[in-house]
Amino acid sequence: GEWDGMDLQILSYKDTGTGILKGVDEINAILDEHVTMTQAMAFSAFKGPFEERIDAWNNKLYMVSEVLEAWLKVQRDWLYLQPIFESPDINKQLPQEGRKFANVDKMWRSTISSAKSNPVVLEFCDNEKLLEKFKECAKVLDMVQKGLSDYLETKRSVFTRFYFLSNDELLSILSESKDIDRVQPHLKKCFEGINEVRLDEDHIITDMISPEKEVVPFTEPIDP
C-alpha cells in the first residue's frame, strides 16, 4: 500500500556528527488520509468483525502522528540551541543550562542513530516510550530557553545598549566575546557614532572609525 517504502529521511546536519528529520510533509499527508479513512470505517454499521483491527490501526496512526509532532518540536529547539551551546563561553556562563542541553543532545543523537538503523515510519514511530522521551526533552529545552532568555536580560540590564541587539546578535557577541571580528558587525547598532574599530597585528584596538570614515585614535590602545 501507500506505506510501502515509506521511510524516515534522516539527513546529516552540518558538521555536528548527527542528523535531522526531513520530508515529513509527505508522511503527514498519508497519515491524514488514513486517519480520515479509518475514522469513516469506525463509524460504519458493518465494522463488527473488523472492530479490533480498525481500533488497533487507528491507535497506531495516532501514535505515529504524535511522535512526529513531538519530534519536530524538539528538532526546532535543538536546531536553535545546538550552535549556541557549542560555544565554551556560553557553557561557562550557563553551566546548568549547558548540562541540560547536553543531556537532550545525547538523547537526540541516540534517536537519530536508531532511526537510521530502522527507518520504517510505522515501526519506528509507533513507540509510546519514544513519545514520552520527546515530551520530556521538549520540557527540558523550554527550561534551557528560559534560562538563556533570563541570562540575556541580565546582560542587557547591566549594559542597556544591548537592548538595541536581537537575541541572536547578543548571543553572537557573548559566545565570541574575545573575537573582535565577530563583534565588529554589531558595534554600529550599539554606538551611533562608531561603525568599526581598527586593530593592529596583535589584535589590539587602536582607533574607532565613524560611518563617515572619520578616524579617532584612542589615547591608550585597548586589549580586548
Question: Tell me, what's the pLDDT at 177?
Answer: 67
List own/partner pairs for 99-108 with CB under 8 A and 24 or more apart.
100/140, 100/143, 100/144, 101/140, 101/141, 101/144, 103/140, 104/74, 104/78, 104/137, 104/140, 104/141, 104/144, 105/78, 107/133, 107/137, 108/18, 108/74, 108/78, 108/137
Q: How does pLDDT run across 167-218, given as a tens digit for each residue?
A: 999 988 888 766 788 788 898 999 989 999 998 888 899 999 999 999 999 9
C-alpha cell at 28: 503527514
All residue ranges of the chain with pLDDT < 70 are 43, 45-46, 177-178
Environment class of 68 (CB within 10 Å of its CB; exposed 0-12, middle 13-18, buried 19+): buried
Question: Tell me, what's the pLDDT at 44?
Answer: 72
What stretches of 159-210 show up as alpha helix (H) in DSSP?
Answer: 167-175, 180-190
C-alpha cell at 163: 537592548
Question: Tell me, what's the pLDDT at 180?
Answer: 80
Question: Tell me, what's the pLDDT at 48?
Answer: 73
